[in-house]
Amino acid sequence: MVEGVEDAWIEIPRSGQSLGWQYTFVPAVDPISGTSMGNVADNRNLFNDGGTLPEDEGLAVRLDSFNPHTGSILAGDTLNLTYTFSGSGTPQNLPLLLPPMSWSSQTQVVFYYSGTGEPYSDRWLCHSLLPAGTPPTPTPTCSVSVPTPTPPLTTTTTESTTTITTTTTISTTTTAAGESGAVIGDYNGDGTSDIAIFRASSGAWMVRSLTRVWFGAASDQPVPRDYSGDGAWDFAIYRPSLGKWMVRGLTSAFYGVATDVPVPGDYDGDGASDIALFRPSIGKWLVRSGLQAYYGFAADTVVPGDYNGDGTTDIAVFRPSIGKWLVRGGTQVYYGVATDTVVPGDYTGDGSCDFAVWRETNGVWLVKNGPHVYWGTSGDVVQPADYDGDGTMDFAVWRPASSRWIIYNFVNYYYGAPTDEPVTNP
């Protein structure tokens, strides 16, 4: 457990400005109301010894506004917590990041903190703060106290933007496709795709015959990929409301805005997936590692994948209005119609991504220069992946009504519930 919380103070870059908050440190337990360890109000007022934190619980900070109930938190505002471990007299310091926000009426917000000082709105995401006798976990280099800003968007594209509307921006979709690193949907690194679902109502990830973890909330978008480069997919979410990416046990970063579309992939060919997004309003791709490019319109479907087999993810879109695939710096082909579902992947085993569609009206899969197979029916959710580990994508669908996974020329399984989201190939 953590004991002897000695003091805490507010670090702010706005010298002398009142924050309008009262901070109360409490154990991360349910219910939060009625628990208390002490508080620190306004700028740099010290927080008295609050006793001990239970070993199995994290730390929560309850923020209450006080009259006149107006104020704000800016990027860079942090709480610095000083504490000691049970049985150790060496003080430790942990900066706690405060998400930017503002308020104009009476407000109460609770944030739960992990050992890196990252805030979460759901206590199940942070787990235990600091185990007994263990030095504090260092903050990852990408988890700084100031959110990483999305690169400025000052250049305009020469392509027409007259087709951009609110409706098309919201409906922009992404499809996972072949890239270097782990096999699609391989959560344990054994070279085969695993059947997996995400249950938004509880934030639960369930991988058949492997594991079950809680990570995320109902409004999050699951974005699992191999972000560590170890050959296995990591549980990860993108939180549009904050523009925040969170990879379980690895990292978190602020990158993007609510209307962006996450498009993770290995854009630099280093064997690990990169945090990346597509901004439909201006047709821009932004990869956190550096790459930026204008390519596509709001009405396009983004289909990143390794289309030339060089081990890196290529920027690509499918234009439903004309059934055209466009790969940046590469091929442009007409294949499919507006009502088709795009399902790119390596169906031929040549190490590159194939142009492919699934036609829901008759259940046919069409792979350019490859097989044509009737598999699935209206209402199914396509989940192509390498379920048998032979190096090629298998035709597969998930049938929500019966929670049934139906894999072509392979075993069928019942796994999940009708309201779950399949994340073998999200």
> Which residue carries 């442009």 as its tokens?
332
Q: Which residues of the chain are under the pLDDT cut of 50?
A: 1-18, 30-57, 85-86, 122-176, 178
Range list of H helices, 97-195: 166-171
CB-based contact 206:196 (threshold 8 Å): yes
pLDDT value for 61: 72
Distance CA 33, CA 31 (A): 5
Closest listed residue to residue 10, CA positions, set 135, 147, 148, 145: 145
DSSP-based three-state secondary structure for 171: helix
Q: Which DSSP string do the residues of 30-86 spell out, in sequence order?
A: S--TT----EEESSS--------B-TTS-EEEEEEE-TT--EEE-TT-EEEEEEEET
**Sign of the CA dihedral 174, 176, 179, 185?**
positive
pLDDT value for 126: 42
Q: CB under 8 Å, gap of 24 or more: what pairs does 410-418 form?
A: 413/195, 413/208, 415/195, 415/197, 415/206, 415/208, 416/197, 416/199, 416/206, 417/197, 417/199
Range list of H helices, 253-304: none
Distance CA 161, CA 282 (A): 8
pTM confidence score: 0.61
pLDDT value for 424: 97
Residue 118 neighbours by CB under 8 Å, 6+ apart: 97, 126, 143, 252
Q: What angle do CA 216, 221, 223 make, to 5 degrees?
A: 95
- The structure tokens listed for 247 are 């990879």
Rounded alpha-carbon distances, angstroms, from residue 368 to 204, 296, 314, 324, 371: 37, 22, 18, 12, 8
Distance CA 21, CA 13 (A): 16
- The structure tokens listed for 231 are 């050959």
pLDDT value for 104: 74
Residue 106 neighbours by CB under 8 Å, 6+ apart: 65, 69
